[in-house]
Structure 1
């Protein structure tokens, strides 16, 4: 049986933890699908399919809208992404399915928590689901089997260091 993991909180490392789990799973012969909500920018992990067999990554965003409200196009990208995730979770082709920044998509009301929970509950039973992003809603935490909160203690971003390729992006 596959479990549901949630990595949330304001600290760095949620996506990184999901990528680490993905690498571990691939090295154990498992297939991983990594769906990134909200993100549409070039992150280093996008090139991972060149190096890692049994790993597929897709982005369901057109760019980060952290400093503005999402518009209709952002919502359309996310809804299409959720439909793709539904298909993947139902067909059971992958052992691990990562829903990166799903919590942020929910926070910005790009789709409903109810729809997400229904999709997760109706997945192929062996599929392990990893959900990342700040602001995990209580309904997602309630259906999860494992919840980890990343807590920021100190971050060099506060000293003006921007995201570095291969480390934060």
Structure 2
């Protein structure tokens, strides 16, 4: 049984989810089964359309209720994120997946949809042979300390500052 590791992709730059999806595609190409849980997100982004092509290797579930980033989260946002954590525990115990991605989980912590201790506990429950990837801005130091690999995406320049909106297939 090969040991799995914990990855964190964080920072204020673009590309955290994209990096995780790239790893998922690579793992699928090697015959591994992948589960992606997208926290906070409830909209269908283009990467979900692509994953249908790999539906035999990659499963995706959304654990978001709606876009609350410009307002305080409501109880439904919190319930969706907490249900997502419960689902990840089930996924861990299924022994079905070799790679599990918790997309935007650190955003869920930052906005207090889930507690830091809950996520640290989940990290401790990770089966030995599972590769676990956590993404999102504002990754707490405690998560960085427990990770085996940390990549920080740093924004140097972004066309959003010039008024360019999110483009389908490129940014969403």
Report if aligned partners of 2:14, 2:155 keep a CA contact under 8 Å in 1. yes
Q: Tell me the residue number matched to 1:91.
A: 94
Mean Cα displacement is larger for which, 148-157 or 63-72? 63-72
Q: Tell me the residue number matched to 1:14.
A: 16
- Runs of 4+ in structure 1 off by over 6 angstroms are none
Unaligned ranges ≥5, structure 2:
none
Q: Tell me the residue number matched to 2:156.
A: 153
Aligned residues: 169
Determine the C-alpha separation between the residues in 2 that align with 1:54 and 1:89: 16
Report if aligned partners of 2:14, 2:153 keep a CA contact under 8 Å in 1. yes
Determine the C-alpha separation between the residues in 2 that align with 1:158 and 1:92: 44
Unaligned ranges ≥5, structure 1:
none
Shift of 1:69: 1.0
Shift of 1:124: 1.7
Shift of 1:49: 3.8
Determine the C-alpha separation between the residues in 2 that align with 1:168 and 1:92: 33
Q: Deviations over 1:88-125 (max 9, x none)?
A: 12322111000000000000111111111112211221
Q: Deviations over 1:34-86 (max 9, x none)?
A: 10000001201222342013100110002221111101010000000110011
Determine the C-alpha separation between the residues in 2 that align with 1:10 and 1:23: 24
Shift of 1:158: 0.8
> How high is the TM-score relative to the length of structure 2?
0.95
Q: Tell me the residue number matched to 1:47.
A: 49
Report if aligned partners of 2:5, 2:130 keep a CA contact under 8 Å in 1. yes
CA RMSD between the two structures: 1.0
Mean Cα displacement is larger for which, 114-123 or 136-145? 114-123
Q: Tell me the residue number matched to 1:76.
A: 79
> How high is the TM-score relative to the length of structure 1?
0.97
